[in-house]
Structure 1
Amino acid sequence: MGNRFIEKLRGFADFDNSELRALERVTAHPKAYGARKDLIREGDPPGPVLVVLEGWAFRYKVLPSGTRQIMAFLMPGDACDLHIGMLAEMDHSIQTVTRASVATIGRTAMDEMLASHPRIATAMYIAQLVDEGTLRAWIVSLGRRSSIERVAHLILELFLRAVRIGLSDGSTMELPLPQAVLADALGMTSVHINRILQELRRSGAIELSRGMLHIKDPAALTYISGFDANYLHKRLK
């Protein structure tokens, strides 16, 4: 199946054999996690850099009222918190959605790799900038997009990210996100999410059944959401 972390970074830089070996070495011993398991919790001391090799996870915060806000979805190939070690404690939690395979890269190993391989460092920094751009897009969605625009925008974002890491054939992908999880990411209720998904189905833009998403009309979904992929910063070969 390959190493999706390496494949993602190769979208931002060209690596020689020594750089590929370095990336393979630091992710060679992943740990398996079950679904709905916290990888790290708010208030914990920052740990190693986490690399999701298989499965899905998300960043989240729990408010004093007990409600939850999801702030990012982590897909295979995504790394977490390159620089969080500079802080005293975690300001959010990370939890798996599905079963997942997660590699941990210690701070010393990461620092040595970045110092020894500048192109890896560049790719990692670009990946982090893309994550920041994605967060900005989410802020715009929560603040200004309508409910249907918000849902359609997230669907297109996840679909395009899946295409780029080989998790989609170009029209279909697995979307293992319960409606309650989507609701917590989009600031909506599960009932409202269900109504919006039904509306998108009726429009002919998507088909969603048993965790499989089919984009039937990309142009319609783009029109509904006002989606512009520039914040995902695809590298021009």
Structure 2
Amino acid sequence: MLPAPFPSDHNPLIRKLESIFPLTEDERQALLELPLQVTVIKEDQDVVREGDRPARSFAILSGMTCTNKVTGDGKRQIVAFGIPGDMPDVQSLHLKVLDITVTTLTQCSLGFITHEDLWDLCLRFPRIAAAFWRETLVEGASFREWILNVGRREAYPRMAHILCELLVRLKAVGLAEDHACDLPITQIEFADALGITAVHANRVFQQMRADGLIETRGTRLIVLNWERLKEVGDFDETYLHLIKQGGAAA
């Protein structure tokens, strides 16, 4: 069960699922009662590795992770950033051998759930199984958007696009407001996500600041011109398939 600091309305997993799928009170309660083994893992540690055969999955309760692949000569490509509420390896419930590595970017609190308990939950609550299925479909849509971003946009709009995505996702789970959020991602990590060098990523950030698009204060990102940032990044949040105000799913 999640620790006391996470009541129902602030439970990261519930918040994430409800950002893409409407849950009933019974379903929310079932998620609250999931037996979790909560573990704190320091930054820059692999939680699961490509080739693993895990018997459990995990939800991010706090902190950030990245899902990545590594070439034979050691070059890393980040293919997704994980935020609180995400279950980056939920596919291991069906795909027994992992083809990804998930690494902590910050110190993270992770809730591990055995596959046996996940199967039991999904059998007892088919709509929760549908919510997990929708989550994997949204993840696939995000991968397609990332391929487009890295393959067809220049570095400046690439960065704008990923900043827009992160801000929208964090806002959907209550971790951003007024176009500002904590974003503890280094320029090296952004570079690995965008397929550019860290030096190039630094130059892009400097240019964005000079252009009046963003401001950074330590790990805090403040977007000064949201509409312009979306325009520069060619950003349309449809691929995130978030539930809109009033309960309609996109």
Q: Same fold (TM over 0.5)?
A: yes
1:224 pairs with one of 222, 232, 245: 232
Moved more, 24-33 or 153-162: 24-33
How far the C-alpha of 1:27 sits from its partner, in A, is 5.4
1:120 pairs with one of 116, 128, 135: 128
For residues 57-76 of structure 1, the aligned pairs below 5 Å read 57-76=65-84
How far the C-alpha of 1:80 sits from its partner, in A, is 2.2
Secondary structure of 2:177's counterpart equals: coil
2:52 pairs with one of 9, 28, 44: 44
Over 3 Å counting, the alpha-carbon distance change for 1:207 and 1:184 in structure 2 is same
Contact 2:91 2:136 (8 Å CA) reproduced: no
Contact 2:14 2:28 (8 Å CA) reproduced: yes
What does residue 23 of structure 1 align with? Answer: 31
1:206 has 2:176 as partner? no
1:150 has 2:155 as partner? no
- 1:202-222 per-residue CA deviation (whole Å, 9 max, x = no partner) reads 111111231110010001101
How far the C-alpha of 1:177 sits from its partner, in A, is 0.4
How far the C-alpha of 1:75 sits from its partner, in A, is 0.3
- 1:71-110 per-residue CA deviation (whole Å, 9 max, x = no partner) reads 1100000012333243342212111000111111111111
What does residue 145 of structure 2 align with? Answer: 137
Moved more, 197-206 or 25-34: 25-34
- 1:31-72 per-residue CA deviation (whole Å, 9 max, x = no partner) reads 111111110111221331211111100111221212111111
For residues 180-199 of structure 1, the aligned pairs below 5 Å read 180-199=188-207
Task: Quote the Cα distance in structure 2 between the aligned partners of 1:85 and 1:159.
Answer: 29
Q: How many residues align?
A: 237
Task: Quote the Cα distance in structure 1 between the aligned partners of 2:201 and 2:143.
Answer: 20
1:79 has 2:87 as partner? yes
Task: Quote the Cα distance in structure 1 between the aligned partners of 2:21 and 2:201.
Answer: 38
After TM superposition, the runs of 4+ consecutive aligned structure 1 residues lying more than 2 A away are 11-18, 80-89
What does residue 4 of structure 1 align with? Answer: 12
Q: Which amino acid aligns with 1:126?
A: R
Moved more, 12-21 or 71-80: 12-21
Contact 1:46 1:87 (8 Å CA) reproduced: no
How far the C-alpha of 1:28 sits from its partner, in A, is 4.2
Task: Quote the Cα distance in structure 2 between the aligned partners of 1:140 and 1:81.
Answer: 23
Gaps of 5+ in 1: none
Normalising by the residue count of structure 2, what TM-score does the alignment of the two structures yield?
0.90
1:111 has 2:105 as partner? no
Task: Quote the Cα distance in structure 1 between the aligned partners of 2:96 and 2:11.
Answer: 31
1:32 pairs with one of 40, 65, 68: 40
Over 3 Å counting, the alpha-carbon distance change for 1:154 and 1:116 in structure 2 is same
Moved more, 102-111 or 144-153: 102-111
RMSD: 1.5
